[in-house]
Amino acid sequence: MVAALALMESPAIIVGLILVNLFGDRNQGEVSWSEVLREAFLNSSVFLLVGSLVIGVLTGEHGQEVLKPFAYDIFYGVLTFFLLDMGLVAARRIKDLGKSGQFLISFAILIPLLNAVVGVLLATLLGMNKGDALLFSVLCASASYIAVPAAMRMTVPEANPSLYVTSALAITFPFNIIIGIPLYLSCINLFWR
């Protein structure tokens, strides 16, 4: 599932950039596929995630032991500071969500629900066990707040980060934690009887 998380970032970037090119203020009508693919797969965040997976596969357990101080010991501390910073960014800009209207708030809840349904159906078709199915559906329902915001900030500078970061962290994330995960688990238990 960690690999799935890393691999799901690129399609999200591709879809985002296509939507911006087709429907954004800078509507170009035609999508520059080389630019979209370059940003989706060679963006520093995605490159780091996928590169880490490749290094892990190549080095195996020995590499895991050598990198343990970085990958395990300090990882949770760094992650805590990163999430705290992202939370502060979201909190400072939460008023912008009210200005954007009900559409963005509804979108931040309904699209994750739709994506979770797709995730549960795919997990069923792929024959995943319950735990993997739950994790996969949560990943499908989640909003990216690592690679995609960085890619959007670099490729679509006119996009308002207060909307996409805050909706991901202040709406989608708490919704998934409080309501989504129990709901997805109920659906999975229903399908896996």
Rounded CA separation 19/148 (Å):
14
Res. 176 pLDDT band, cuts 50 70 90: very high
pLDDT of residue 192: 84
Residue 12 above 90 pLDDT? no
pLDDT given at position 26 = 58
The whole-model pTM stands at 0.70
Residues in the chain: 193
Distance (Å, whole) CA 182 – CA 106: 20
**Looking at residues 22-45, what average pLDDT do you find?**
68
Percentage of the residues of the chain whose pLDDT score is greater than 90: 26
Give the pLDDT of residue 118. Answer: 94
pLDDT at 183: 95
For residues 75 and 166, give the distance between their C-alpha atoms in angstroms, rounded to a whole number: 24
Report CA-CA distances (Å) from 49 to 26, 54, 84, 91, 146.
30, 9, 20, 27, 10
Region 2-27: what's the mean pLDDT? 72
Q: Which of 112, 91, 98 is nearest to 179 (CA)?
A: 112
Phi, psi of 178, deg, nearest 5: -80, -45
Mean pLDDT over residues 8-23, rounded? 76
pLDDT tens per residue across span 133-175 = 999 999 899 887 766 776 777 777 777 777 887 788 888 989 9
How large is the average pLDDT for residues 67-95? 77
Task: Answer whether residue 129 shows pLDDT above 60.
Answer: yes
Q: Where are the domains of the chain?
A: 2-191
Confidence of residue 18 (pLDDT cuts 50, 70, 90): confident
Within 13 Å and on the Cβ side, how many CA atoms surround 86? Answer: 21
